[in-house]
């Protein structure tokens, strides 16, 4: 049956550049409508990032591998359950002369005299803690003066010590169930990390495009200054040496632009790696004067997300790492229980009833009741197995504690990083606004001959640095929010559980 636990796909940052891409097309000259981001803080239903995430669900081989592993574990569990209650068929053909029984060995004959005999029987677990079987046999006597015989009977066997109440089977089923739940949690973890990885790679790829655009804007500003300075130098309005710094700025910025274009290609391939494909993707068109503004607006909207709200939503779904650790502890405990059962002495009650058509018998019907006991001579092997089982439980318990500590500290680090990035974004925005004012004033001074091209160039450099710095911090806001959701276990896959994606039928504990 399907589980009701679904990863809550919340808020983030994840709105990502899907929103930017849409707003660039929808309102290239105006302000982006960021109300949906600020209100919901989730990935929109339509957009480039959403499309990529949806494709990833079916195309990423690592996710498919994790789902396949979960399916295999579930099939093993279902197969073990079905196999245990499946009756077994036993058949035997025997020819002997005056056979006899060797006591307490299980070696017995189905005939009392020289004969050829056939027997067939069915054995199966019946109800809780009871095994049963039925069988028939036919003996064809070798001596002509003896009659052939036919018998039929049924029996039940009730273990009292080892395997009492199907304890071995239940321990194995519980261990397999824990394994199945662990593999499902691993698939959930893979789904979470995959989505977070795609968002991370997509944000970095989009930032690389925007950063290249800002460098291109810096080149254009420097080229414009070269053109204006050269013209004024020809008119002898300014000395020729004022042209050289601007020409240098053009050269150095073009080199940076070449590097930035290479970064776009590199991050595109990293995004492809996160998507789990080698197919090329169309470059996201984030061009125009307002692309950087839209990027900043999106980051600012993300910075308004409430950590308390994210934390509250995260508490509705356990972290997959903790589920894996818990399942491993449970598996170790049930494995230990199985060892305890298997190392116990055997004490079974057996009750049987049968019918024999032998005319020489006074009563064709009969019954038997007995007690069977056995145990190994010596306990050294049992001691080591039990010690190992306890050691496995202790190991998994310690691993679970370490995982819990690691998850808790990861959340604390993510919360600090997100809060810091949001605070720095506001400061970087103020610095950029001041740099814009300085450049405007230096342009005015240069136009009236009060300033120099060097002053304008320095102001241009400061503005470029301030814009790129702000975009860099905006990226940190996005990535830190992405990591915060990862730490909380909140997936960017909207309302998608691993069970729905893999169409798994989870088997509950029994």
pLDDT per residue as tens digits for the range 308-338: 888 887 887 889 999 999 999 999 999 999 9
Q: Are 44 and 17 in contact (CB under 8 A)?
A: no
- The range of the structural domain enclosing residue 320 comes to 13-81+169-334+386-502
Confidence of residue 235 (pLDDT cuts 50, 70, 90): confident
For residues 189 and 105, the model is more confident at 189
pLDDT of residue 359: 64
Q: How many residues does the chain have?
A: 510
End-to-end CA, the chain: 13
pLDDT per residue as tens digits for the range 192-203: 888 888 888 888
Nearest residue to 257 (alpha-carbon basis) of 226, 213, 291, 222: 213
pLDDT of residue 23: 28
Structure tokens at 83: 């196999």
| Mean pLDDT for the chain overall | 78
Structure tokens at 402: 């370490």
The domain that holds 479 is classified in CATH as 1.20.1600.10
* Listed range (13-22, 127-136, 159-168, 457-466) with the worst mean pLDDT: 13-22
Element (H, E) at 461: helix 453-488
Confidence of residue 497 (pLDDT cuts 50, 70, 90): low
pLDDT of residue 423: 93
Mean pLDDT of 181-210: 88
C-alpha angle with apex 367: 362 to 372, nearest 5 degrees? 140
Does the structure show a pLDDT above 50 at 43?
Answer: no
How many structural domains are present in the chain? 1
Does the structure show a pLDDT above 70 at 164?
Answer: yes
Q: Are 486 and 417 in contact (CB under 8 A)?
A: no
Does the structure show a pLDDT above 50 at 40?
Answer: no
Q: Which residues, including other chains, have CB under 8 Å from residue 483's CB and lie 6 or more apart?
A: 196, 414, 417, 418
Q: How far is Cα 493 from Cα 486, in angstroms, rounded to an integer?
A: 12
Mean pLDDT of 3-31: 31
- The answer to whether position 417 is within a domain reads yes
Q: Give residue for tokens 């803080």.
A: 41
- The answer to whether position 443 is within a domain reads yes
b/e map 12-45, b = 16+ CB within 10 Å: bbbbbbbbbbbbbeeeeeeebebeebeeebbbbe
3-state secondary structure of 371: strand
pLDDT of residue 226: 86
Is the dihedral angle over the CA atoms 441, 442, 445, 447 positive or is it negative? negative
Strands 88-96 and 149-159: unpaired
Does the structure show a pLDDT above 60 at 175?
Answer: yes
Confidence of residue 363 (pLDDT cuts 50, 70, 90): low
3-state secondary structure of 120: strand
pLDDT of residue 36: 27
pLDDT of residue 406: 96
- The answer to whether position 142 is within a domain reads no
Does the structure show a pLDDT above 50 at 276?
Answer: yes
Nearest residue to 320 (alpha-carbon basis) of 195, 419, 135: 195
pLDDT per residue as tens digits for the range 335-353: 999 999 988 888 999 888 8
- The answer to whether position 228 is within a domain reads yes
- The answer to whether position 50 is within a domain reads yes
For residues 110 and 277, the model is more confident at 277
- The answer to whether position 91 is within a domain reads no
Mean pLDDT of 264-269: 90
pLDDT of residue 500: 58
Does the structure show a pLDDT above 80 at 83?
Answer: yes
* Listed range (111-120, 229-238, 450-459, 492-501) with the worst mean pLDDT: 492-501
Mean pLDDT of 414-420: 94
Is the dihedral angle over the CA atoms 28, 31, 34, 36 positive or is it negative? negative
pLDDT of residue 38: 27
Mean pLDDT of 393-418: 95
Q: How far is Cα 207 from Cα 218, in angstroms, rounded to an integer?
A: 16
pTM equals: 0.74
pLDDT of residue 315: 81
Q: How far is Cα 317 from Cα 404, in angstroms, rounded to an integer?
A: 15
Write the burial class of residue 240 (CB in 10 Å: 0-12 exposed, 13-18 middle, 19+ buried).
exposed
Does the structure show a pLDDT above 90 at 13?
Answer: no
Q: How far is Cα 304 from Cα 149, in angstroms, rounded to an integer?
A: 90
Mean pLDDT of 202-208: 86
Q: Are 457 and 174 in contact (CB under 8 A)?
A: no
Percent of the chain with pLDDT over 90: 26
Confidence of residue 258 (pLDDT cuts 50, 70, 90): very high
Does the structure show a pLDDT above 50 at 167?
Answer: yes
Q: How far is Cα 43 from Cα 487, in angstroms, rounded to an integer?
A: 18
Q: Are 152 and 138 in contact (CB under 8 A)?
A: no
- The answer to whether position 406 is within a domain reads yes
- The answer to whether position 450 is within a domain reads yes
Q: How far is Cα 83 from Cα 407, in angstroms, rounded to an integer?
A: 39
């Amino acid at each position: 049956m399907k589980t009701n636990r679904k990863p809550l796909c919340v808020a983030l940052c994840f709105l990502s550049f899907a929103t930017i891409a849409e707003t660039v097309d929808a309102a290239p000259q105006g302000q982006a409508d960021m109300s949906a981001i600020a209100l919901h803080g989730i990935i929109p239903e339509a957009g480039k990032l959403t499309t990529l995430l949806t494709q990833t669900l079916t195309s990423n081989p690592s996710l498919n591998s994790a789902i396949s592993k979960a399916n295999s574990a579930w099939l093993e569990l279902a197969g073990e359950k079905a196999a245990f209650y499946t009756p077994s068929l036993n058949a035997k053909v025997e020819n002997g002369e005056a056979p006899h029984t060797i006591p307490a060995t299980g070696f017995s004959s189905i005939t009392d005299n020289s004969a050829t005999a056939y027997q067939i029987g069915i054995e199966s677990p019946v109800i809780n803690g009871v095994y049963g079987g039925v069988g028939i046999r036919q003996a064809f006597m070798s001596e002509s003066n003896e009659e052939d015989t036919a018998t039929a009977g049924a029996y039940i066997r009730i273990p009292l010590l080892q395997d009492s109440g199907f304890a071995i089977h239940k321990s194995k089923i519980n261990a397999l169930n824990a394994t199945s739940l662990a593999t499902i949690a691993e698939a959930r973890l893979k789904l979470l990390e995959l989505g977070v990885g795609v968002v991370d790679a997509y944000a970095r790829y989009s930032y690389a495009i925007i950063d290249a655009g800002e460098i291109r804007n810096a080149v254009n500003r420097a080229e414009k200054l070269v053109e204006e300075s050269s013209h004024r130098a020809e008119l002898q309005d300014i000395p020729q040496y004022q042209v050289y710094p601007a020409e240098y700025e053009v050269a150095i910025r073009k080199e940076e632009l070449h590097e930035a274009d290479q970064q776009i290609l590199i991050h595109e391939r990293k995004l492809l790696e996160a998507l789990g494909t080698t197919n090329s993707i169309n470059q996201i068109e984030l061009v125009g004067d307002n692309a950087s503004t839209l990027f900043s607006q999106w980051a600012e909207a993300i910075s308004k997300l409430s950590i308390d709200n994210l934390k509250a939503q995260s508490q509705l779904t356990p972290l997959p790492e903790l589920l894996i650790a818990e399942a491993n502890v449970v598996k170790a405990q049930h494995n230990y229980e199985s060892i305890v059962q298997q190392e116990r002495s055997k004490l079974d009650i057996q009750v049987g009833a049968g019918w024999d058509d032998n005319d020489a018998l006074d009563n064709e019907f009969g019954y038997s009741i007995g007690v069977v006991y056995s145990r190994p001579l010596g306990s050294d092997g049992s001691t080591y197995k039990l010690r190992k089982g306890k050691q496995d439980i202790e190991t998994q318990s310690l691993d679970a504690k370490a995982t819990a500590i690691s998850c808790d500290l990861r959340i604390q680090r993510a919360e600090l990083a997100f809060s810091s990035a949001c605070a720095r974004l506001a400061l970087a925005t103020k610095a950029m606004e001041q740099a814009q004012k300085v450049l405007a004033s230096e342009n005015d001074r240069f136009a009236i001959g009060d300033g120099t091209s060097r002053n304008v160039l320095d102001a241009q450099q400061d503005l470029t640095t301030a814009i790129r710095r702000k975009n860099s911090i905006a990226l940190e806001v996005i990535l830190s929010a992405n990591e915060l959701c990862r730490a909380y276990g909140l997936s960017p896959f909207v309302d998608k559980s691993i069970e729905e994606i893999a169409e798994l039928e989870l088997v509950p504990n029994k």
